[in-house]
Amino acid sequence: MSETGLRYLLEALNAGSMRAASDRLNVAASSISRQIAQLEESYGLALIEKGRRGVRLTHAGEIVIAHYRNQVADREALRAKLEELRSVKSGHAVLAVGEGFLGSGFTDMIASFTAANPQIHLDLSVNSSQQIVRQVLDDEAHLGLVFQTPHDIKIHVRSVIAQPLMAIVAADHPLAGQSSVSLADLGRHPLCLSPRHFGLRQILAGAELRHNTYLEPVITTNSIHMMRETVRRGAAVTILPQLSVWSELESGELASIAIADDAMEDATISLILRAGRQLEGAPARLLKMVEAQLRQWNRPLRVAEV
């Protein structure tokens, strides 16, 4: 089994083509093709489908790549365990999250982690839920935080907590004192919402269909920060999980109101990693801290009295 051939095959798969893999590896595309051909000759089976412009694995190729990924992960775990034995608090961890998580509570968690582990290099990737799942499956990220639980047997859901989608308003907004609000009620106020391809907006679209009520925002933005600031200034109402505005809710600056729809109330967030991947060292320490943050988000809000 050629380590080089396996590495080239994985890179070609991730890049989508031999040429793109060549650019990434700074190796001639013919060398990549030759190494993969030698692998196929060694195994006696085709690993990639022929005649395609891109790289697509055969069933045999999928088995080989899955085995190789587990080998790479096992070697990484071994190195991390040995580092732990030497008490070397260094390493590298990659966390992929959606922008909706980037409130002050999450920022505080990251600051605490880096303060406690100054020699660990942390990569924070902000992406869509679909891209986060792909990063975790391709071992580009050790951990992922996503809205809603992905239904994929290759994904291990480490933790999941309820995080209903709520109407978020300024503390002095006319809706602020209500215990729940309907979509029709929300439609009577200016709205600031995420784009339709966002996971949060897709959950909302299902509720709109069920209630035959369609919301037209005055502002559409892919920035959670913009949503928070627009609501803080009283210019609009938005729809977010509480974790996106956790500190503002606790301070009493903003208020959250339940939306009268089962799917909105049943929304969740999940901490995910690739099934079969064992995390050690820096990623394992990050895992513990993220799980602690999830427990924090799962407790009742402590709203300051104003």
> pLDDT (tens digit, 9 = 90+) per residue, 93-135?
999 998 888 877 888 899 999 998 888 899 999 988 889 999 9
**Distance between CA atoms of 74 and 2, rounded to whole angstroms?**
17
What mean pLDDT is reported for the chain? 87
Same domain for 146 and 62, yes or no, is: no
Tell me what pLDDT residue 84 has. 66
Could you tell me if 17 and 73 lie in one domain?
Answer: yes
Cα angle vertex 206, ends 231, 192, to 5°?
15
Q: What is the pLDDT of residue 4?
A: 87
Q: Given this model, what pLDDT does residue 299 score? A: 72
pLDDT confidence of residue 306: 42
Residues 169 and 235 in one domain: yes
Q: Are residues 177 and 251 in the same domain?
A: yes
Is residue 95, in this structure, part of any structural domain at all? yes
In a domain, 181, yes or no: yes
In a domain, 303, yes or no: no
Q: Is the pTM of this model over 0.85?
A: no
Give me the number of domains the chain comprises: 3
Same domain for 276 and 148:
yes
- Where in the sequence is the domain holding 134, given as residue range(s)? 89-162+268-298
Q: Render pLDDT for 10-63 as a digit per residue (tens, 0 to 9).
A: 888 888 888 888 888 888 888 888 988 898 888 889 888 876 677 889 999 899
Q: What is the pLDDT of residue 145?
A: 94
pLDDT of residue 147: 84
